[in-house]
Amino acid sequence: MRKTLIRIFTIADYEEEEIWLRGQHKKGWKLVKMTPPMFYTFESCEPEDVIYRLDFKNTERPEGYFQMLKDFGWEYFAQCFGWLYFRKPASAAETAEEGELFSDNESRVDLVSHVVKTRLLPLAIVFLCCVIPNFARVFTGSYVGAFGLFWGILFAVLFVLYVVLIIHCGTKLKRIRDKYRTGMDG
């Protein structure tokens, strides 16, 4: 049996997403497919405690990377917008670190920085260079007629959406980074 759920996780919510997926598997639903942007297809299975982890690699993904994760017992099974999905039965992790993709704060901070640089920054650029100028035209009276109204509303909605998203992701990613930075000695 299969089911598809719609769930929104932003680029700053990957830790919550891992917990949610683990909870689904515990209830007997294993994730089999991710369809961008937010469709999760599950298949019924034996309820089991399986650890889910996400890594973000939107640039290079050499063969050696997947081989190494496999060596460490991680099953790679899906990807979505540069996010790679891995899982491993909790029973296979003897220590807490074996249930994690990252065992030191330096590498956890590296992941956050990479997300900020390649995801949050482009989002902010689109907002500044496209959404704001088009939204501003509402006030200069550039949009006329029914078609103009449509564009006006569209950019007003986009404006609000971008503001909410950028504030949410920006503050949350900063919080995650600070959480791991305070644990660093260097």
Partner 1 sequence: MEDRLKRIYVPMTESGFYILYCLQTPQHGYGISQQVKRMSGGAVVISAGTMYGTLSKMEKDGLIRFYCEEEKRKLYQITDLGREILDIEIRRIERLYKNSKGEDIDA
Interface residues toward partner 1, by CB under 8 A: 55, 63-65, 67-69, 71-72, 74, 95, 97-98, 100-104, 106-107, 110-111, 186
- Cβ proximity to partner 1, 114 vs 168, nearer residue: 114
Q: Find all residues with CB under 8 Å of 86, minimum gap 6, and list them.
A: 52, 53, 54, 55, 69, 74, 75, 76, 77, 101
Pairing relationship of beta strands 39-44 and 29-35 according to DSSP bridges: antiparallel
Rounded to 10 degrees, what is the CA torsion of 119, 123, 129, 132?
A: -170
Q: How far is the CB of 50 from partner 1 (least distance, A)?
A: 16
Q: What is residue 60's three-state secondary structure?
A: coil
Q: How far is the CB of 163 from partner 1 (least distance, A)?
A: 33
- Cβ proximity to partner 1, 15 vs 110, nearer residue: 110
- Cβ proximity to partner 1, 52 vs 135, nearer residue: 52
